[in-house]
Amino acid sequence: MHTKLCDQLGIEMPIFAFTHCRDVVAAVSQAGGFGVLGAVGFTPEQLDIECKWIDEHVGDKPYGVDIVIPGKYEGMDQLDPSKLEEQLKALIPQQHRDFAAKLLAEHGVPEMPAGEKHHELLGWTAATATPQVDVALRHEKVRLIANALGTPPDDVIDKIHKAGRLVSALCGRPDQALKHKAAGIDIIIAQGTEGGGHTGEIGSLVLWPQVIKAVDPVPVLAAGGVGSGQQIAAALAVGAQGVWTGSIWLTVREAESPPAQMESYLKATSRDTVRSRSYTGKPCRMLRNEWTDAWEGPDSPGYLGMPLQGMVTVDAIQRTHRYADKAQSVAFNPVGQVVGMMNEVRTVRDLMYQLAEEYLEATDRLQSLTPGA
């Protein structure tokens, strides 16, 4: 399981692991893959602390940082970047805040402790994500900056390239992939609708070959529902240079998922997920629960665009994470359909070994089907 990207990045296996947990980033890179830390939710100062920790625990291995600068968002190019959070707050109707607060209260989710204030806008816009890029680029072992939504602005791409790093971006359609290519993106990540987090509507095995053909020779990572070595073999067979994974790292031993949240993942089937705008404002795959149902119900005030919906729900995200044992009925549990395969807790190294072993078994089987082999 070795592609050109492995040589370019100095890794053993083209398995990219997106996670918000620094322990998982370091463990994946140490095991021969490429860990990618999600920066959304971190202030630049917090992100710097996380990257310093990874630097100290990853040895001589590389890793990446994932940011979120949507191609379109509320207030884009219209608001003063220096007053962005204040101006965006003014655009949020009170009924949306009231609806979210009512849901949490009805389901018995405690308030955050007094004095633990939180920013409502950490990432999600060019003005707030660019400082995260600046922090990431100060760390030499960060070899890749990924953007989760849309093509990054030209100045961000130029800044990353001038620092000698690579830029990747996710897409859910071939036309989006072509925009990435035209902008000079180094690695394009084609994510099918099965994936967790923000996804489009096209299935992975339909999307991957379309994107690979459209952007050739730009390398493509296959994402969306990848949870086994057999699926990695399928991705490489259609021309991908590697795989981008996320959900499967939510239930490894190193993950920071609260026990109640992890139990929700372990019990869930692939039918228990839904694409919902209820937490971020854009279609995001997560476990369906009373929160997602309520925002679709007759009393819902409707969704706001990104980042406004996320500014409304950041309090819910923090409270349902802190009080996960009391909040699963309304918790934000982003995960892909591969959750139905996530049935046990294991270490990162064991999971990486299993993926490699399954990949070899799959390729051996294909070889056995070839006449004369």
Flag the least confident range among 44-48, 78-82, 282-286, 293-297.
Answer: 78-82
Q: Can you tell me which residue has the tokens 């998922």? A: 257
What is the reported pTM?
0.94
The whole-angstrom separation of Cα 112 and Cα 156 is 35
What domains can be seen in the chain, in order of their start residue? 1-73+124-256+343-373 (3.20.20.70), 76-120+274-337 (no CATH)
Question: Mind listing the pLDDT tens digit for each residue in 66-118?
Answer: 999 887 777 777 777 778 778 888 999 999 999 999 999 999 999 988 777 67
Residues of the chain above pLDDT 90, percent: 85
Task: Walk across the sheet containing 284-287 and list its strands.
Answer: 197-198, 284-287, 273-276
Supply the pLDDT for residue 121.
Answer: 64
pLDDT (tens digit per residue) in 152-180:
999 999 999 999 999 999 999 999 999 99
